[in-house]
Amino acid sequence: MRVLVVIPTYNERENIAELIPALLRLELGAEVLIVDDASPDGTAEEVRQWQEQFPGRVHLLQRPAKLGLGSAYCQGFQWALQRGYDIVVQMDADFSHDPADVPRLVATLDQADVAIGSRYVSGVNVVNWPIGRLLLSWFANRYTRCITGMPIADATSGFKAFWGRVLRRLRWERIRSNGYAFQIEVTYRLWRLGCRIVEVPIIFVDRRSGLSKLNRGIVYEAAWMVWRLRLSSLVRNERRYYTDG
């Protein structure tokens, strides 16, 4: 079984130098794909050094500019599907997601199509976030659940594992959202397809180093996205987001 971990990066050299070896040490034998948005701090150069040490297990997609989280994942997922990976994992580069939790997510796919590393399925498991950021995230997820009807406690989670066959059902060229909105949209589309989604409790720890990419535009996009998703289900134009496979 081939497992690929997809990680978007922008100025994450310090974190990625520790994260790649941590993932390669996992007994899963997972491979790693870094999708880098032309980081000026040399993130891509760091990845190339690991490619030399572990040929065939570390991969790099270097993009020409800062094009956004959502498009990075779309490109990374399509790269994985073109190469026939069985399972695709997505996670952040900043150690807010513990690499040791990756095997738990993958193991959950024995009983699910999608496994979500959830901060809120068993209480609130977030460490070192300012109270304002925590409340924003918590209320955003309550808001999403209320508007869409999707029974997911942490729809904005960026830590997920998918069966490749599930990802093939989506038309990635039609997904244009970023940030929180991207996480919500992908989860919603798969839920509407009837996929079995299981939330796995994790402890989320604020980034070790570097700066958060969250901004006001990302928050506004997510707020409007849930209404767009709801409307698409009401007017029955959802099929354009799915393949027949």
Find the CATH number of the domain harbouring 72: 3.90.550.10
Cβ neighbours of 164 (radius 10 Å): 18
What residues make up the domain containing 210?
A: 3-241
Residue 15: beta bridge partners? none
Using pLDDT thresholds of 50, 70 and 90, give the confidence band for residue 80. very high
DSSP 128: S
> Does residue 217 surpass a pLDDT of 70?
no
Give residue 123's identity as a one-letter amino acid code. G
Using pLDDT thresholds of 50, 70 and 90, give the confidence band for residue 178. confident
Residues 6+ apart with CB under 8 A from 124: 134, 138
**Residue for token digits 């604020």?**
206
Task: Please choose, from the candidates 18, 40, 21, 41, the residue with its C-alpha nearest in 3D space to the C-alpha of residue 32.
Answer: 21
Distance, C-alpha 98 to centroid of its chain: 13
Count of domains forming the chain: 1
Q: What is the pTM of this model?
A: 0.90
* CA dihedral over 107, 25, 86, 117, signed as positive or negative: positive
Contact 66, 37 (CB under 8 A): yes
Specify the pLDDT at position 244.
Answer: 73
What's the CA gap between 28 and 103, in Å, rounded? 7
Specify the pLDDT at position 86.
Answer: 98
Specify the pLDDT at position 5.
Answer: 98
Query: pLDDT tens digits for 21-31?
Result: 999 999 999 99
| Phi and psi, residue 92, nearest 5° | -80, 160
The percentage of the chain sitting over the pLDDT mark of 90, rounded to a whole number, equals 71
Specify the pLDDT at position 89.
Answer: 98
Cβ neighbours of 169 (radius 10 Å): 17
> Does residue 2 surpass a pLDDT of 60?
yes
